[in-house]
């Protein structure tokens, strides 16, 4: 692998150094079972669009899917009934954009891209992010669906904040893609943890925690209890482990163990899952609890792969 190569358009020499196998590209992977999203992303790259376009379009599929109660429209609200979204995106040049605590705009991933491309900043929050969205032509809409309102009303009977492990096997969507030019991009979008405190922001929009991409090395994304990912800067850690020569699989395993082995870690009570992709198109995934999975679209095959986990029983 070409450790430390951080370029955008790779020369043939660089391609040789990193064993880039164009026969197996493009590749897209995503957290959980999201075949419609990976299909959209892969077809976008087949259409000679960039990995960045693939990430945006792939993530948008889940943001628009009202049945998914952890992303975009239909996401479960905070404890006061507000649906607030977090998202970030990173391109192969190392640029990134992020929105946090965003209300009323469904496609948080697209707004994160606008922050990256059309502002001098990396992160916009709350009302500022929302107003920027309207100025860019995004539409205001109520993100709380009847189904999510019903779930919130039910939750209010006990009001017990207890993040659910592996919510409906389809959670925050984190996605990584490498296009046929060998350029890597990534994105992450979520409505965060259900019934969180108003204003809470998780790992998903935080570059280095929920997502990190280094075009010379690879990328990683996280899902699960964001507070625990932030404490170990999980995605950056995985990319740095790959830089040191670890495979994506091994890097994900080491990053999960970093959480598990923390003093007084109560890892048995929460889930964190990572997926990673390196410059060769090799992939990996690992989680604390059973039940996590990754979807991979490569060589015309769109498959959901069950993740190994630290806890096996
Ligand atoms: C968060 N990591 O807000 C996200 C949400 C998630 O399982 O992945 N939930 O902490």
**Hey, what domains does the chain have and what are their CATH numbers?**
12-309 (3.60.20.30)
Q: Please report the pLDDT score of residue 159 as a whole number.
A: 80
For residue 69, is pLDDT > 80?
Answer: no
CA–CA dist 143, 72 (Å, integer): 7
Nearest-angstrom CA–CA distance, 300 and 92: 23
In whole angstroms, give the CA distance from residue 226 to residue 221: 11
Known catalytic residue at 172: yes
Enter the tokens of residue 155.
Answer: 């939750």
pLDDT of residue 10 exceeding 60: no
Reported as a pLDDT band with limits 50, 70 and 90, residue 71 is confident
Over residues 116-144, mean pLDDT: 97
Residue 6: which pLDDT band, with cuts at 50, 70 and 90? very low
Helix (H) or strand (E) holding 259: helix 248-260
Round the average pLDDT of the chain to a whole number and report it. 90
Q: Concatenated DSSP letters for 34-68?
A: -HHHHHHHHHHHHTT--HHHHHHHHHHHHHH-TT-
Query: If you search the block for the tokens 């997502």, which residue do you land on?
Result: 211
Reported as a single tens digit per residue, the pLDDT across 282-303 is 999 999 999 999 999 999 999 9
Q: Is the Cβ atom of 78 under 6 angstroms away from ligand 1?
A: no
Cβ atoms of 219 and 213 within 8 Å: the answer is yes
**Number of C-alpha atoms within 13 angstroms, CB side, residue 179?**
24
Q: Please tell me the residue having the least CA distance from ligand 1 atom 10.
A: 226
pLDDT in tens, 253-287: 999 999 999 999 999 999 999 999 999 999 999 99
- For residue 187 and ligand 1, the question of a CB distance below 6 A is answered with no
Residue nearest to atom 6 of ligand 1 (CA): 224
10 Å Cβ neighbour count for 19? 12
Atom of ligand 1 nearest to the CA of 202: 3
Q: Are 12 and 252 in contact (CB under 8 A)?
A: no
Cα(27)–Cα(58) distance, rounded to whole angstroms?
13
Beta strands in the chain (DSSP E): 27-31, 85-90, 96-102, 123-125, 173-178, 184-190, 211-214, 218-224, 272-278, 283-287, 293-298, 301-306, 308-309
Q: Which atom of ligand 1 is nearest to the CA of 225?
A: 10
- Closest approach atom of ligand 1 to CA 31: 8
Tell me the CA–centroid distance for residue 16 and ligand 1, in Å: 38
pLDDT of residue 158: 86
d(CA 88, CA 248): 21
């Amino acid at each position: 692998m070409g450790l430390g190569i951080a370029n955008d358009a790779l020369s043939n020499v660089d391609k040789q150094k990193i064993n880039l196998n164009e026969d197996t590209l493009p590749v897209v992977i995503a957290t959980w079972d999201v075949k419609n999203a990976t299909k959209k992303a892969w077809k976008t790259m087949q259409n000679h669009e960039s990995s960045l376009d693939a990430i945006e379009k792939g993530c948008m599929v889940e943001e628009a899917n009202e049945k998914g109660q952890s992303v975009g429209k239909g996401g479960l609200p905070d404890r006061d009934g507000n649906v607030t979204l977090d998202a970030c995106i990173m391109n192969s040049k190392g640029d990134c954009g992020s929105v946090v605590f965003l209300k009323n705009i469904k496609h948080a991933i697209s707004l994160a891209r606008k922050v990256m491309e059309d502002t001098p900043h990396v992160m916009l929050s709350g009302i500022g992010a929302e107003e920027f969205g309207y100025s860019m032509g995004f539409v205001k809409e109520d993100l709380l669906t009847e189904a999510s309102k019903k779930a919130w009303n039910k939750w209010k009977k006990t009001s017990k904040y207890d993040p659910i492990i592996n919510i409906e096997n389809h959670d925050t969507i984190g996605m990584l893609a490498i296009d046929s030019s060998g350029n890597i991009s990534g994105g992450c979008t979520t409505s965060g943890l259900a019934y969180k405190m108003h204003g809470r922001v998780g790992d998903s929009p935080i570059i280095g925690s929920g997502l990190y991409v280094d075009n010379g090395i690879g990328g990683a994304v996280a899902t699960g209890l964001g507070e625990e990912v932030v404490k170990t800067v999980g995605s950056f850690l995985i990319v740095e482990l790959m830089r040191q020569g670890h495979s994506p699989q091994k890097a994900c395993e080491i990053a999960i163990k970093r959480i598990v082995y923390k003093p007084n870690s109560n890892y048995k009570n929460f889930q964190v899952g990572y997926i990673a992709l390196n410059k060769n198109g090799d992939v990996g995934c690992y989680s604390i609890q059973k039940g996590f999975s990754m979807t991979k679209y490569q060589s015309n095959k769109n498959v959901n792969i069950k993740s190994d986990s630290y806890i096996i029983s």
